[in-house]
Amino acid sequence: AIQMTQSPSSLSASVGDRVTITCRASQDIRNDLGWYQQKPGKAPKLLIYAASSVQDGVPSRFSGSGSGTEFTLTISSLQPEDSATYYCLQDYFRPYTFGQGAKLEIK
Amino acid sequence: EVQLLESGGGLVQPGGSLRLSCAASGFTFSTYAMNWVRQAPGKGLEWVSGISASGVTPFYADAVKGRFTISRDNYNDTVVLQMEALRGDDTAVYYCVRYTGFPSRFDAWGQGTLVTVSS
C-alpha cells in the first residue's frame, strides 16, 4: 500500500499567519491527492482535489500544490475557523490511504 | 442538496455482525462510485471499502477483506456495508462517502454512524 506521511503532526499559529502542511507519498501518485479538513465531532470536508484544484465554496485562502510524491496545503492568512485537523488522501491507487493528520491550533 | 445518511451502527459483541446502510439523495446515485471510510476513537481516517457505480466491482482494505461485504441498490439509492466477524479494532465511526472521478475526489460525506465492538 502507498504510505502517506504528513508533517508536521501538529502546529500552532496566529490569526493572519501563513501556514503550510506537507504530505509525502511513498511512491509517485501523479496529482491524485486531496486535502480534507475535519473539525471535532464532524465529518471531513473536501478542500482541495487533484493536488491544486479548490473545491467549490472553499475560501480562496486555501491552496494546494505538488505532484509525484511531494504535496503542500497552504493557508495564506489563517482565520480562527481554520482550527481543525487536516488530512491528505491519495486516490491514485487502491487501497486509498490517508496521511496521519495535522492538528492545527490557533494561538 | 447532496445528502448521505448512514444508519445501522450500535454496540455488538466481538465475533458478531452488523449491517450499515447509507441512503443517498440529491444526486444521480447510479452514476457515482461509493465508499466507506472509518475513524477509530481519537485516531485518523482509514479507507475501508468501495464499490463501482454499477455495483459490479467491490474493493476492500486488507484489514476487512473476507469479513466485510459492500453492495448497492441503484433503484433505492442505497449502499450497504455488511460486517461479519467483528473485532475490537473495528470500533469506529463509519462514514459513507461519494467518489467523483476525473479528477478524482471524495466530495460528499455522511455524518457517520458509530460502531462499537465490545463484550
Question: Among residues 49-78 of chain A, which lie with CB inside 8 Å of chain B?
Answer: 49-50, 53, 55
- Inter-chain contact B107–A53, Cβ cutoff 8 Å? no
**Cα(A88)–Cα(A102) distance, rounded to whole angstroms?**
9
Per-residue pLDDT tens over the stretch A51-88:
999 999 999 999 999 999 999 999 999 999 999 999 99
* A104 CB-contact burial (10 Å; exposed 0-12 / middle 13-18 / buried 19+): buried
User: What is the number of CB-based contacts under 8 A between chain A and chain B?
Assistant: 62
Phi, psi of A41 (to 5 degrees): 75, 5
Instruction: Kindly state whether A95 is in contact with chain B, defined as any CB-CB distance less than 8 angstroms.
Output: yes
- C-alpha distances in angstroms, A10 versus A6, A22, A87, B6? 10, 12, 12, 30
pLDDT at A9: 98
From A44, which residue of chain B is nearest by alpha-carbon distance?
B109
pLDDT at B102: 86
Kindly state the percentage of chain A with pLDDT values over 70.
Answer: 100
Work out the number of other CB atoms within 10 angstroms of the CB of residue B11: 13
Mean pLDDT by 10 residues, chain B (119 residues): 98 98 98 98 98 96 98 98 98 98 94 98
Interface mutation target, options A30, A35, A96, chain B, most CBs of B under 10 Å: A96
Ramachandran class of B38: left when φ > 0, alpha when ψ lies in -120 to 50, beta otherwise? beta
Instruction: Kindly state whether B44 is in contact with chain A, defined as any CB-CB distance less than 8 angstroms.
Output: yes
Work out the number of other CB atoms within 10 angstroms of the CB of residue A74: 16
